Amino acid sequence: MKGKIVKLLTLLMVASLFLAACGGGATEAPAPAEPAEPAAPAEPAETEASEEPAQPAMEEQTVVIGFTSSLTGSQEVSSKRQVNGFNLWMEQVNEAGGVTLSDGTVVKFEAHTYDDESNAERVQELYTRLITEDNADFLISPYSSGLTSAASIVAEQNGKVMITTGAADDDTYKTGNTSLFQLYTPASLYMSSTVDMLKELDPEAKIALVHESDKFSTSVAEGIKPYLEANNFEIVLEEGYASDTADFGPIVNKISGSGATVLLGGGHYNDGTALARAIYDRNIGLKFVYLLVAPADTKFPELGDAALGVATSSQWELAATHNEAEASNLGVEWFGPSGEEFATAYEAAYGDPPTYHVAGGYAAGLVLQKAIIDADSVDPEAVKAALNAMDIMTFYGGTKFDTSEEAHGLQIAHKMVVAQWQKNEAGEFERVIIAPADVATADPLYAPSAP
């Protein structure tokens, strides 16, 4: 009898937990899929075709865009921001009346998405479902190179275009694929602007390359080594650490013992913040600290003074956003809203200033929209041809893809900037651009050379 009562109580507790979870989901779940309507929406993205003289619409066609995102798991923070950016684009373009093709067809967009849990096990299953059950016409990649590699096989198998954002590793595009189109600067080029800056600041700098032992971070570190050596920098320490490392004491000891003056490395959000804090706590006299990904997030200053001076590469920064004049100087076509319009709309919808992950998600939609306009069709082969021929600039930067068989889809026009957390006159943290010099908004915070 007593046992039955215990089981009954457990059942009731579990049922209430379940209902609470359902209740929470009901209020939270729609947020990523359907962003709040912007209070002050930016000017809708320019749709060349929609600006054509009004014609009677022959029919409305809904294009389904499918993707998985990491609502849970290790890539959760960056992946959610990316989805927010994409949803903002979709909301804006649909509100602006969609894309009108020359035959009068009005194309509107709809997203279908699943949680991949940052886990490779179900990625192919989910992308197959997106294509066969949800009838996705175009695909956006998951947020990571490994997951994208798995998903790209399904895209290739079904002849679907996949715009990748958040999949920076070069190897993912060197598989002989014909369907991938990368928006990010490839991992091997992530740190090149930083090294160029160091050449000017301190050619004698001793480098510690300390990075997360995962596909992306190791690719970045491996990619920059030849460039560092070619510029006569001495690499005094090269060390990988496990992705779930929380105690960076031993790593900081090694950096300290190596005589390094500059740290280049990091990995993702969780490990990057822990490493920044450990370096600050030990105060090992580094002149410059550069970490991947984590400092690009708006939450990074929550570390307090440990965030001061930490730099990162960024795919996009509002302070160095690309503009129409730049496109005109380079002789490439400009497309879409300005960076300021995008940022205002995003902040109105989500309450945060946009990060480069948000911009990447938005740009994925924008590039697809432009390809549909150029192709004047939603036929996958025509859109693929338009993407292969694309050479444009948006607020996010240049977009042009490698069309060779060896590295199809690799991004070749997008450039990164180096951003650093500094304090403004009011003592508040702000992320400033310190390189390249032509877009820099502040001087780098770099410790003076030792006497």
Partner 1 sequence: MKNWRNHLGLLVPLLVVAGMVLWPVATGNLSNRENSFTILKAIALASSLNILLGYTGYVSFGHIVFYGFGGYVGLYFVNEQGWSIWAGILVGGISSGLLAFLLGKAILRLRGAYFALATIGINEAMKAFVNNFDLFGGPIGMTLNFSVYRAYGGAAEALRLSFYIMAGLTFAALILSHLVRTSKFGLGLQAIRENEDAAEVMGVVAPDAKTWAYVLSAIIPGMVGVLFFFKNGNVEPHVAFPLHASIELLVMVMLGGQGTVLGPIIGAFAYQGMRGFLVTSPIFKDIQLSVSGVVLLLIVLFIPAGAIGWLRQRIPSLRRVLA
Binding site for partner 1 (CB under 8 A): 7, 10-11, 14, 17-18, 21-22, 24-25, 28-29, 71-72, 114-115, 117, 119-126, 128-129, 131-133, 146, 149-150, 152-154, 156-158, 169, 171-172, 174-177, 213-215, 217-219, 222, 240, 242-243
**For residues 3 and 451, which CB has a smaller minimum distance to partner 1 in the complex?**
3
Residue with tokens 């890539």: 75
C-beta of 101 vs 167, nearer to partner 1: 167
How far is the C-alpha of 383 from the C-alpha of 295, rounded, in Å? 35
User: Which residue's CB is nearer to partner 1, number 32 or number 98?
Assistant: 32
Q: Which has the closest alpha carbon to 317: 219, 417, 223?
A: 417
Q: How far apart are CA 429 and CA 308, in angstroms?
A: 8
Q: Closest approach of Cβ 156 to partner 1, in Å?
A: 5
Q: How far is the CB of 71 from partner 1 (least distance, A)?
A: 7
Smallest separation (angstroms) from partner 1 to the CB of 178: 9
Query: Which residue, 126 or 434, is less far from partner 1 as judged by CB?
Result: 126
145-158 helix and 215-230 helix, angle to the nearest 10 degrees: 110
Q: Report how far apart, in Å, the C-alpha atoms of 128 and of each of 68, 135, 271 are.
A: 11, 10, 33
Smallest distance from partner 1 to CB 133, Å: 5
Closest separation between CB of residue 380 and partner 1, Å? 15
Query: Nearest distance from residue 32's CB to partner 1, in Å?
Result: 8
What is the CB-side half-sphere exposure of residue 28 using CA atoms within 13 A? 8
Which residue in 187, 191, 201 sits closest to 261, CA to CA? 201
Residue number, 214 or 374, with CB nearest to partner 1: 214
Task: Report, in Å, the least distance between residue 172 CB and partner 1.
Answer: 7
Residue 429 forms beta bridges with which residues?
423
User: Phi then psi for 423, rounded to 5 degrees?
Assistant: -110, 140
Q: Which is nearer to partner 1, 240 or 295 (CB)?
A: 240
Q: Output the DSSP codes for 84-152.
A: HHHHHHHHHHHHTT-EE-TTSPEEEEEEEEEE-TT-GGGHHHHHHHHHHTS--SEEE--SSHHHHHHHH
Q: Which is nearer to partner 1, 132 or 328 (CB)?
A: 132
Closest approach, Cβ 407 to partner 1, in A, equals: 12
Q: Choose between 113 and 422: whose C-beta lies nearer to partner 1.
A: 113
Q: Angle at CA 123, nearest 5°, toward 120 and 129? A: 165
Considering the complex, state which of residue 62 and residue 213 has its C-beta at the smaller distance from partner 1.
Answer: 213
Q: Strands across the sheet with 138-140, in order?
A: 99-100, 106-115, 60-69, 138-140, 162-164, 180-182
- Taking phi over 0 as left and psi of -120 to 50 as alpha, with beta for the rest, 37 belongs to beta
- Closest contact distance (angstroms) between CB of 170 and partner 1 is 10
